[in-house]
C-alpha cells in the first residue's frame, strides 16, 4: 500500500512527513514523497528567455527531497518524486491516482492566523476535489510513533454509513481501538434527551455495520478488536465540543466529506472546517462513496 505525501521543504512539509510515517507504521505502507514544482506557462511571456532555470530548480528540488527522505526513519520505505504542474493540488491528486495511493498526506498551512489547522490554498483545493482520502497534519505535528486510536466523526447526513464502514474496517486492519464521536448534538445545545438519541443512533449504526462486516470476513473475529466506544460531543459551539472531548496524542480523526461533494470527491463542509480548527490531532477526510482499497 502506498501513501502519497505532498512534500514542501518547510514546516508544513515536515508535518506531513511525520504524519505519513505515523500512519505507515501501523499499516506496512510505503511513502511516496511528491514535490510539485511549477510548470512555467509559455504565455507568461518571460523575457529574456532563460532556459537553464529549470536545471537549477530541479537541482534544488532534488536537495529538498533528500532532506525530506532524511526525515523518514529507516523502518519505513520512502521514494521521492519531482512532479511538474500548474496547480499543486491537481498535480498531487494526479500523482495519488496514478500511484493508486490509499491516502494523500499533506500538512496544513503554516502561516495561518488560526491555531493548529488553517487551511492553505493547496489543502483547501485538495479537500474540495480529491478522490483519495486526504490526511491533514496539524501545524507542528512531530509525532512519528504509530497511531494509537481511531476516532470517527459521525453524523446523520448521507454517506455516514459508508464512512462508518471505512472506519470499522480500518480500525480492524490496524488493530486500533475505535471511538465513534457523534456530532449530532453539536448545534442543538446540551439537552440530555438529544445526547441519548445520538448515542442510540450511533450504536444502531455500529451494530448494523459490525454484523455485515462479520459476514463479509471470517477473520474479523469479535475478540480481536475491543468494543467500539461511543461518545457524544457536546458544547455551545462545534469548536467547544471538539475541545471538550479528550484526545489521545496518537489519535486520528476520520471524517466524511460533505454531502455537497460530487460522487467520490472530498468536500469539506462548514462543520468539518470548524472541527478542523479546534482539533488537536490529525484528521483524514474521506471522500463520499469511497470504498477502501484492499487490506
Partner 1 sequence: MSTAPKTVQSKETPALSEKGLKAGSVGLIGAVVIGVSCIAPAYTLTAALGPTVSEVGVHLPAIFLVGFIPMLLVALGYRELNNAMPDAGTSFTWATRAFGPWIGWMGGWGLIAATIIVLSNLAAVAVDFFYLMLAQIFSNPALGELSKILPLNIATTLVFIGLACWISYRGMETTKGVQYVLVAFQLLVLGWFAVSAFSHVANGTAFDATAISPDWFNPFAVDSFSSFAAGVSLSIFIYWGWDVTLTMNEETKNPEKTPGRAATITVLVIVIIYMTVALATLSFAGVGESGLGAGNPENQSSIFAVLAGPVMGPFAILMSLAILSSSAASLQSTFVSPARTMLAMGHYRAISPRFGRISPTYKSPSFATIAAAIAAAAFYVITRTVSENALWDTITALGMMICFYYGITALACVWFFRAAAFSSIRAFFFKFLAPLVGGVILLVMFVKTALDSMDPEYGSGSSVGGVGLVFVLGMGVILLGVVVMLVMYRVRPEFFRNFSRRAGV
Nearer to partner 1, 54 or 145 (CB): 54
Q: Where does residue 96 rank: exposed (0-12), middle (13-18), buried (19+ CB within 10 A)? A: buried
Contact 282, 19 (CB under 8 A): yes
Distance of closest approach, residue 200 Cβ to partner 1, in angstroms: 42
288: its cell numbers? 463520499
Closest CA to 53 of 39, 74, 67: 39
Query: Whole-angstrom Cα distance, residue 5 to residue 106?
Result: 6
Site for partner 1 in 220-279 (CB under 8 A): none
Q: In the complex, what is the shortest distance from the CB of residue 163 to partner 1, in angstroms, rounded to a whole number? A: 29
* 49 belongs to the binding site for partner 1 (CB under 8 A): yes
Name the minimum Å distance from CB 119 to partner 1.
15
Element (H, E) at 150: strand 149-154
Report yes or no: 253 and 281 within 8 Å, Cβ to Cβ: yes
Query: Rounded to whole angstroms, how far apart are CA atoms 163 and 154?
Result: 8
Q: Which of residues 60-119 bind partner 1 (CB under 8 A)?
A: 60-62, 64, 66, 69, 72, 74-84, 98
Selected binder of partner 1 within 3, 4, 6, 8 (CB under 8 A)? 8
* Cα–Cα dist 23/136, whole Å: 12
Closer residue to partner 1 in complex, CB, 59/240: 59
Backbone angles phi, psi at 32, to 5 degrees: -120, 105
- Smallest distance, partner 1 to C-beta of residue 108, A: 13
The count of residues interacting with partner 1 (CB under 8 A) is 49
Single out the residue of 237, 251, 285 nearest to residue 126, CA to CA: 285
Using CB under 8 A, pick the residue from 17, 20, 26, 58 that binds partner 1: 58
Least distance (Å) between residue 60 CB and partner 1:
5
From the list 57-65, 196-204, 215-223, 252-260, the region that binds partner 1 by CB under 8 A is 57-65
CA separation for the pair 215, 209 (Å, rounded): 10
Least distance to partner 1, CB of residue 206, Å = 32
**Residues 6+ away with beta carbon under 8 Å from 204:** none
Distance of CA 100 to the CA centre of its chain: 16
| x/- track of binding to partner 1 for residues 182-221 (CB under 8 A) | ----------------------------------------
Our CB check for partner 1 shows the closer of 7 and 154 to be 7
Q: Which residues from 15-44 bind partner 1, rule CB under 8 A?
A: 28, 30, 32, 37-44
* Shortest spacing between CB 51 and partner 1, in angstroms: 3
Nearer Cβ to partner 1, position 117 or 290?
117
The minimum distance between CB 181 and partner 1, in angstroms, equals 31
Q: What are the C-alpha distances in Å from 18 to residues 13, 53, 73, 106, 278? A: 9, 31, 10, 10, 20
Q: Can you tell me the distance from the alpha carbon of 282 to that of 192, in angstroms, rounded to the nearest whole number?
A: 29
- Give the interface with partner 1 as residue ranges (CB under 8 A): 8-10, 12-13, 28, 30, 32, 37-58, 60-62, 64, 66, 69, 72, 74-84, 98
Amino acid at each position: 500500500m502506498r501513501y502519497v505525501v505532498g512534500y514542501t521543504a518547510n514546516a508544513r512539509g515536515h508535518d506531513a512527513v511525520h504524519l505519513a510515517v505515523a500512519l505507515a507504521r501501523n499499516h506496512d505502507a510505503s511513502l511516496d514523497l511528491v514535490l510539485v514544482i511549477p510548470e512555467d506557462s509559455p504565455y507568461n511571456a518571460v523575457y529574456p528567455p532563460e532556459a537553464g532555470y529549470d536545471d537549477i530548480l530541479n537541482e534544488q528540488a532534488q536537495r529538498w527531497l533528500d532532506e525530506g527522505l532524511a526525515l523518514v526513519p529507516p523502518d519505513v520505505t520512502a521514494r521521492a518524486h519531482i512532479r511538474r504542474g500548474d496547480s499543486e493540488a491537481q498535480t498531487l491528486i494526479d500523482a495519488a491516482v496514478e500511484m493508486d495511493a490509499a491516502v494523500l498526506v499533506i500538512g496544513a498551512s503554516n502561516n495561518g492566523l488560526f491555531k493548529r489547522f488553517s487551511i492553505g490554498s493547496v489543502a483547501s483545493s485538495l479537500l474540495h476535489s480529491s478522490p483519495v482520502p486526504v490526511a491533514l497534519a496539524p501545524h507542528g505535528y512531530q509525532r512519528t510513533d504509530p497511531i494509537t486510536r481511531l476516532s470517527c466523526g459521525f453524523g446523520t447526513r448521507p454517506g455516514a454509513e459508508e464512512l462508518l464502514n471505512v472506519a470499522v474496517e480500518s480500525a480492524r486492519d490496524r488493530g486500533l481501538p475505535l471511538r465513534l464521536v457523534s456530532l449530532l448534538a453539536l448545534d442543538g445545545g446540551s439537552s440530555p434527551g438529544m445526547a441519548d438519541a445520538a448515542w442510540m443512533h450511533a450504536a444502531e449504526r455500529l451494530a448494523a455495520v459490525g454484523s455485515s462486516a462479520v459476514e463479509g470476513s471470517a477473520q474479523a473475529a469479535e475478540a480481536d478488536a475491543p468494543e467500539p466506544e461511543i461518545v457524544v460531543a457536546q458544547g455551545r459551539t462545534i469548536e467547544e465540543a471538539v475541545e471538550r472531548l479528550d484526545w489521545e496524542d496518537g489519535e486520528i480523526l476520520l471524517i466524511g466529506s460533505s454531502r455537497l461533494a460530487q460522487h467520490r470527491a472530498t468536500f469539506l463542509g462548514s462543520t468539518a472546517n470548524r472541527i478542523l480548527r479546534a482539533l488537536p490531532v490529525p484528521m483524514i477526510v474521506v471522500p463520499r462513496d469511497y470504498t477502501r482499497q484492499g487490506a
